[in-house]
Amino acid sequence: MGVSDKKMHIAENLEQVKSTFKNPDCLLVAVSKTHPPEAVMAAYEAGHRDFGENKVQELVKKQEVLPGDIRWHMIGHVQSNKVKMIAPFVHLIQGVDSVKVLRLINKEAKKCSRTISCLLQVKIAKEESKFGFEEEEIMEMIADEEIKKLGHVKIIGLMGMATNTDDEQLVRREFAGLKAFMERLRKLDLPSNFDLQELSMGMSADYVIAQEEGSTMVRIGSAIFGERNYG
């Protein structure tokens, strides 16, 4: 496929995906991991501005060569020693999975005189996933006096990944469970750096179900950019 054919497909795919949204206000984060900057530019030229990457180094490399008005979402696990590389510019860190990382984001955000928006990643899948909080851990966290002193982070919502399965009912229950958990949290007396509004759930295979269950943000890669060779 020629470069211009590919570009056309990316713009078409974006339109196609958006046309199937159950909630037209849901934010589409285009996941460009493993795809070159040219692929991001094709979506950019079609008017898209929110992009997601799951590796800090790849995110930084793309950010350096691509337009400054792109909103970069860090969607994967962030290694502690790499927080400082994205702190100056990252729009939203979606994969906050430990208090340790949250503290570090706060420290690096302070150095940049920024407040960085974050989502807490919650384990919702049946399969054993390495990253993410258990619900009880988040309950402990909001009761911890130390958390409310982290003035350079803002927790604006939750993120979750459903089990990778054809069992739609299971996927639906997992998304519904995350939505219900956020609603429970919203009724509590939360620290002032919490303002829970966003639910990031849904990928290429399950974003329609996720939107039916209350997703406000979907992270879509292969349905826009095509299959990945790695990652």
Ligand X SMILES: *Cc1c(COP(=O)(O)O)cnc(C)c1O
Residues that bind ligand X (CB under 6 A): 31, 33, 54, 75-76, 203-205, 219-223
Q: Closer CB to ligand X, residue 115 or residue 214?
A: 214
Burial of 142 per CB tally in 10 Å (0-12, 13-18, 19+):
middle
Instruction: Tell the smallest beta-carbon distance from residue 219 to ligand X (Å).
Output: 4
**Cα separation of 25 and 145, whole Å?**
35
Structure tokens at 71: 């909103």
152: β partners = none
Nearest residue (CB) to ligand X, 160 versus 191: 160
Q: Minimum distance between the CB of residue 75 and ligand X, rounded to whole angstroms?
A: 4
- Opening angle at CA 75, ends 69 and 78, nearest 5: 110
- Based on DSSP, count helices (H) and strands (E) in the chain, helices before strands: 9, 8
E strands, the chain, in order: 27-31, 50-53, 71-74, 92-96, 116-122, 153-160, 194-200, 217-220
Pairwise CA distance, residues 42 & 3, whole Å: 10
Minimum gap (Å) between residue 100 Cβ and ligand X: 20
- What's the closest the beta carbon of residue 127 comes to ligand X, in angstroms? 14
Q: Residue 117 CB, nearest distance to ligand X (Å)?
A: 17
Between residues 155 and 159, which has the closer beta carbon with respect to ligand X?
Answer: 159
Q: Which is nearer to ligand X, 193 or 211 (CB)?
A: 211
Chain residue whose CB lies nearest ligand X: 221
